């Protein structure tokens, strides 16, 4: 096995991103309370990331109850938190090197469901080391969530983190699979168990507030061209929110860019049975005898 220099600059930037993110995650979670504004929490967290020297790797996801991922406030969102189950999923990058984390804030009175995904993540982290197969990690996650009487969300997975790439191989399943990929020292991955009191699958909803660059292209429409210039300069291939774009005609510009297959959208993912979903996620660097969790304070 090739020696990996875990002191290399890219790993230092992953660590820096993780430290910023761990602080922002905890501070943002403290702001989630009944009556607080979704938009204010999201924008506060994104601004705080920048204050601490990072950049958001994707828009702050605020998923409520049956929502599992890809929900972020619109520019004029007036939603406030009720007695809900709230998943905060936040990302940071430093020069394109990423960290990704999530936590459930339960205002719904279902603390055991939140505990199930947290315990599954802890068990998964204890399993990680160079040479372990991803299917083995999935089996530990599934077993832990089953032990709480809930189901893992089986069509969502953890993932690798690349340079300016939020999702790269390997996928880390949330259930046992026969064939997995062997982790290697130096791999940077995000493990994110989702637990539900529903059947354990998500489907795409109709709402889309998050987009990312799919391919280069030229557009004639001025508003679309201005939006594309901002996207390629500021966000590159990372996801962004409609509310991050300058200009009053951002939604129209995004529609045109999507129609030309220059952008793709991320529909909000919802539990098929409309049941609650909890989530817990950390980013880690795989080592020969374990892992280094970058998003834990």
According to the 3-state scheme, what is the secondary structure of the chain?
CCCCCCCCHHHHHHHHHHHHHHHHHHHHHHCCCCCCEHHHHHHHHHHHHHHCCCEEEEEEEEEECCEEECCCCCCCCCCECCCCEEEEEEEEEECCEEEEEEEEEECCCCHHHHHHHHHHHHHHHHHCCCCCEHHHHHHHHHHHHHHCCCEECCCCCEEEEEECEEEEEEEECCCCCCCCCECCCCCEEEECCEEECCCCCEEEEEEEEEEEECCCCCCCCHHHHHHHHHHHHHHCCCCEEHHHCCCCCHHHHHHHHHHCCCEEEEEEEEECCCCCEEECEEEEEEECCEEEECCCC
pLDDT at 2: 54
- Neighbouring-strand partners of residue 163: 97
pLDDT single digits (tens) 224-248: 999 999 999 999 999 999 999 997 7
Query: Who has greater pLDDT, 218 or 152?
Result: 152
The percent of residues above 90 in pLDDT, for the chain, comes to 93
Reported as a pLDDT band with limits 50, 70 and 90, residue 147 is very high
pLDDT at 46: 98
**Average pLDDT score over residue span 127-143:** 98
Mean of all residue pLDDT scores within the chain: 96
- Give the distance from CA 160 to its chain's centroid: 12
pLDDT at 216: 85
**Average pLDDT score over residue span 89-101:** 98
pLDDT single digits (tens) 181-195: 999 999 999 999 999
CB 280 within 8 A of CB 63: no
Instruction: Report the C-alpha gap between 126 and 87 in whole angstroms.
Output: 23
Q: Catalytic residue positions?
A: 89, 100, 159, 167, 192, 281
pLDDT at 257: 96
pLDDT at 1: 44
Q: Model's pTM, two decimal places?
A: 0.95
């Amino acid at each position: 096995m090739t020696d990996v220099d875990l002191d290399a600059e890219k790993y230092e930037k992953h660590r820096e991103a993780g430290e910023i993110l761990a602080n922002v995650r905890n501070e943002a979670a403290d702001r989630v309370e009944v009556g607080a504004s979704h938009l204010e929490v999201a924008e506060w967290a994104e601004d705080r990331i920048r204050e601490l020297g990072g950049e958001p790797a994707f828009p702050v996801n605020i998923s409520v109850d049956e929502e599992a991922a890809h929900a972020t406030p619109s520019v004029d969102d007036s939603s406030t938190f009720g007695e809900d189950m709230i998943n905060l999923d936040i990302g940071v990058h430093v020069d394109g090197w990423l960290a990704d984390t999530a936590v459930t804030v339960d205002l719904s009175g279902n603390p055991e469901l939140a505990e199930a995904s947290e315990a599954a993540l802890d068990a998964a982290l204890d399993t990680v080391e160079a040479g372990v197969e991803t299917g083995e990690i999935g089996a530990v996650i599934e077993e832990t969530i089953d032990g709480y009487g809930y189901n893992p969300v089986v069509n969502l997975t953890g993932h690798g983190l690349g340079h300016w790439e939020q999702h790269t191989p390997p996928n880390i399943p949330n259930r046992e699979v026969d064939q997995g990929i062997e982790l290697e020292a130096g791999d940077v991955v995000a493990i994110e168990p989702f637990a539900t009191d529903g059947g354990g699958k998500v489907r795409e909803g109709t709402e889309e507030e998050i987009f990312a660059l799919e391919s280069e292209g030229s557009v004639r429409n001025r508003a679309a061209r201005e939006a594309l210039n901002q996207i390629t300069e500021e966000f590159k291939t990372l996801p962004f929110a409609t509310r991050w774009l300058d200009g009053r005609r951002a939604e129209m510009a995004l529609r045109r860019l999507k129609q030309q297959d220059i952008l793709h959208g991320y529909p909000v993912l919802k539990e098929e049975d409309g049941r609650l979903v909890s989530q817990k996620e950390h980013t880690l660097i795989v080592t020969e005898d374990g892992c280094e969790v970058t998003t834990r304070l």
